[in-house]
């Protein structure tokens, strides 16, 4: 079981798909405060993994769009959004180094207000 922003769901993510709950809670609160999110914002969650950051911030924005190369992680993000009734989040499989059209070359994203990067992306 994974707790996403206080909601218990039935998704079993791999141990590396989500950060430990205490660390996640601190991180997500820091991101929420630093980003000064508005209800009209579109949030782009790059390297989103299982979508934990975007899903936890979804209640503060109009739309969350996540992207990651990991097919299983994106499937988990989609299922977690469904189980937790998060209707303003969508997740896509793609590699930003070769596949920028997945998000930016379509009508899915006409503009972005906030960009968050998954924690593992910082290891690059």
Average pLDDT of adjacent 10-residue blocks, the chain of 124 residues = 48 55 75 89 90 92 92 94 94 77 59 78 41
pTM score of the predicted model? 0.75
Distance CA 35, CA 37 (A): 5
Q: What are the Cα distances from residue 70, in Å, to 36, 42, 90? A: 29, 22, 15
pLDDT for 10 equals: 46
CATH fold of the domain at 3-123: Rossmann fold (3.40.50)
């Amino acid at each position: 079981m994974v707790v996403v922003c206080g909601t218990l769901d039935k998704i079993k993510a791999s141990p590396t798909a989500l950060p430990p709950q205490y660390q996640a809670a601190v991180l997500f609160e820091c991101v929420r405060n630093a980003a000064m999110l508005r209800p009209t914002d579109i949030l782009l969650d790059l390297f989103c993994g299982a979508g934990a950051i975007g899903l936890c911030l979804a209640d503060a924005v109009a739309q969350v769009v996540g992207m990651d190369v990991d097919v299983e992680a994106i499937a988990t993000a989609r299922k977690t959004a469904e189980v937790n009734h998060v209707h303003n989040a969508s997740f896509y499989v793609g590699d930003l180094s070769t596949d920028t059209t997945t998000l930016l070359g379509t009508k899915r994203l006409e503009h972005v207000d906030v960009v968050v990067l998954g924690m593992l992306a910082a290891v690059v």
